[in-house]
């Protein structure tokens, strides 16, 4: 078998066999197939696509390139979730303890922020002492003990995906639906997930610009899961405006705490309940949506979701005094309210611009290795569809210095657009793919 023959076959829009895909993935991972051939193959995939079976074979080849976490020794069934990324998306911080409090174990491996989207690990590391780097034994032991883990992914899980991801980034092949789907699902399956809820974002602050693209990606990922013997469902959700109020690490942790205590932003809590509902159904902890929603709402009302979050923080070495009394968290040097320059209905709050502005403030990374200022960020006080009067509070900026404050203020004002006539509110979820 030769790599060039596999490249030519895909160039000619022919379907690759499982053996050919495994050969190519193994060869690229061990170095026997060079970057230039892998780049040519990735471009052929981008241009000509893959069938669901090909994409599943690619996913499993990447899964089998490294260790596979077996969660069955700790729990009979664990559920996981994945978000395609967005601005102000602190859903994991609420949904994971919420679902675990309902009796369904959650073993989650998350990533860091890069570009204009925030990362779950960076948010949790805002809590002093919180450890995200766990050994496999620690991960399994904690999952068994408290039914909840939130950790970083290890390099030994799906190493082929890491190589392909780096290659796609510099070869113009990031935008391939089969390559995106196999990358996401290989990590989830390698991490031991038997049931996976996917939150695919669309809009101005998302990788997917429209519903058609998002549904295509969601369908591919759900099909991969089913063909690989896993259960999966995907929500197509909005990311035209930031999710919730807070954008920035400590600010988002505080908002997650408020939500777990039942006093978070209504739209953000609703989205968390939507995701939790699907996780509980998929994990067989509820018979239907009504029962799942009732369980999730009750876990917030009776405080069990909040207690589970405290258990998580304590189990991973975090100082729970900060989450019990959030005023202890450090504050940015400048915290200032910016008011609306005009009266009207908000027609747009450009999520990508908000995310990019938070990175400029220091809340995220422009490139790998950049240091994060956990205290800076933005609080977006209004939503699309709100009527606002001139002089009314529009957003709060948390900045490290006057220069970054002024730059962020000017850019965020441009991210807001007004209309003289009423504007329809944006939906939270557009569709569910199962």
Residue that the structure tokens 């050994």 belong to: 135
Residues assigned a catalytic role: 82, 161, 168, 183, 187
SS3 of residue 336 by DSSP: strand
Laid out side by side, the sheet with 79-83 consists of 148-152, 106-110, 79-83, 195-202, 231-238, 429-433
Q: What does the radius of gyration of the chain's CA atoms come to, in whole angstroms?
A: 22
Tokens 């799942």 sit at which residue? 292
Alpha-carbon span 155 to 403, nearest angstrom: 39
Helices (H) and strands (E) in the chain, counts: 17, 13
Residue 403, number of CB atoms within 10 A of its CB: 9
Nearest to 364 by CA among 249, 220, 218: 249
What's the length of the chain? 434
Element (H, E) at 295: helix 289-301
- The enclosing H or E element of 234 equals strand 231-238
């Amino acid at each position: 078998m030769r790599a060039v023959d596999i490249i030519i076959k895909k160039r000619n829009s022919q379907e690759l066999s499982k053996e050919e895909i495994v050969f190519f993935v193994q060869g690229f991972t061990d170095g026997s197939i060079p970057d230039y051939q892998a780049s040519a193959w990735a471009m052929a995939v981008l241009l000509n696509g893959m069938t669901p079976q090909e994409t599943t074979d690619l996913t499993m080849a990447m899964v089998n390139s490294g260790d596979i976490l077996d969660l069955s020794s700790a729990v009979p069934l664990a559920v996981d979730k994945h978000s395609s990324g967005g601005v102000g998306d602190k859903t994991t911080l609420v949904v994971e303890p919420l679902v675990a409090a309902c009796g369904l174990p959650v073993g989650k491996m998350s990533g860091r922020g890069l570009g204009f989207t925030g990362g779950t690990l960076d948010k949790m590391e805002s809590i002093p002492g919180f450890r995200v780097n766990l050994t496999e034994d620690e991960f399994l032991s904690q999952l068994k003990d408290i039914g909840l883990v939130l950790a970083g992914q290890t390099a030994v899980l799906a190493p082929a995906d890491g190589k392909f991801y780096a290659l796609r980034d510099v070869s113009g092949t990031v935008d391939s639906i089969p390559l995106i789907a196999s990358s996401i699902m290989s990590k989830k399956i390698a991490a031991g997930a038997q049931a996976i809820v996917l939150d695919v974002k669309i809009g101005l602050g998302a990788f997917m610009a429209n519903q058609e693209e998002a549904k295509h990606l969601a369908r591919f990922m759900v099909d991969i899961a089913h063909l690989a013997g896993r259960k999966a469902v995907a929500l197509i959700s909005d990311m035209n405006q930031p999710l919730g109020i807070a954008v920035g690490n400590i600010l988002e942790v505080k908002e997650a705490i408020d939500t777990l205590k039942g006093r978070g932003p209504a739209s953000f809590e609703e989205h968390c309940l939507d995701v939790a509902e699907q996780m509980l159904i998929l994990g067989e902890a509820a018979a239907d949506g009504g029962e799942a929603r009732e369980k999730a709402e009750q876990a917030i009302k009776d405080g069990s979701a909040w207690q589970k979050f405290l258990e998580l923080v304590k189990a991973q070495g975090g100082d729970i005094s900060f989450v019990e009394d959030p005023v202890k968290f450090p504050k940015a040097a400048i915290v200032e309210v910016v008011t609306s320059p005009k009266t009207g209905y908000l027609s747009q709050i450009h999520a990508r611009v908000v995310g990019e502005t938070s990175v400029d403030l220091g809340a995220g990374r422009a490139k790998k290795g950049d240091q994060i200022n956990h205290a800076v960020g933005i609080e977006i006080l209004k939503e699309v569809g709100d009527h606002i009067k001139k002089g009314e509070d529009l957003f709060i900026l948390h900045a490290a210095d006057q220069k970054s404050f002024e730059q962020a203020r000017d850019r965020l004002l441009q991210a807001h657009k007004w209309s003289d006539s009423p504007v329809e509110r944006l939906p939270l979820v557009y569709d569910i793919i199962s």
